[in-house]
Amino acid sequence: MIIGALLILTWLVLLLRYPAKALPISLAAVCGLGLVALGVVWQDTREASQLARLDIRLSYAPDQCPADRALQVRMKNGNKVPLTELRWRVAAYAPGDTVNLAENTYAAPRYRGPGELQPGVEWSDCLPLPPLRSGYRPQTLEFRAEHLQGTFAN
């Protein structure tokens, strides 16, 4: 932090002492930082829109899945590019409620996607249930994928 303060102080001294030379360089630096920030914002919005085009459905399916992995996930890639990596958290809600009943502890399972998922392809798998707050049964809850983090092929 002290190095950053010294750099800003040095820049201000140079700007006040030699404005004819320091001002054009400062403007070029600000324009460069602006371009980098614009690129980061564009990439972030592109990734968010690609994640929004993923159709992810989670359901409690003990009759179709093993007992230790009773959460069935179905995912379809609605993008024009392949999905290369995906991670998410599972949230559990009572119908009509907004309180997450899944406990996201350190020991909670980590959820990952299928690896590479081509455009228009559907993937399904059975995953372990997240730990739920006491007193709630999984068959009465709605499960949702939240905090999606993913990358797509360019």
Question: Distance (Å, rounded) from C-alpha 79 to C-alpha 48?
Answer: 12
Query: Any residues with CB less than 8 A from the CB of 6 and at least 6 apart, and which?
Result: none
6-34 pLDDT, tens per residue?
988 988 888 889 888 888 888 898 899 99
CB-based burial label for 82 (10 Å; 0-12, 13-18, 19+) = middle
Secondary structure of 132-150 as H, E, C letters: ECCCCCHHHCEEEEEEEEE
31-89 pLDDT, tens per residue?
999 999 999 999 999 988 998 999 999 999 999 999 889 999 999 999 999 999 999 99
Residue 115's pLDDT is: 82
8 Å CB contact between 136 and 102:
no
- Report CA 2 to chain centroid distance, whole Å: 33
pLDDT at 2 over 80: yes
Q: Give the SS3 label for residue 75.
A: strand
Global confidence as pTM? 0.72
Looking at residues 121-150, what average pLDDT do you find?
90
97-117 pLDDT, tens per residue?
889 888 877 777 788 888 888
Of 94, 106, 88, 89, nearest in space to 133 by CA: 94
Residue 74's pLDDT is: 94
Question: Distance (Å, rounded) from C-alpha 87 to C-alpha 75?
Answer: 12
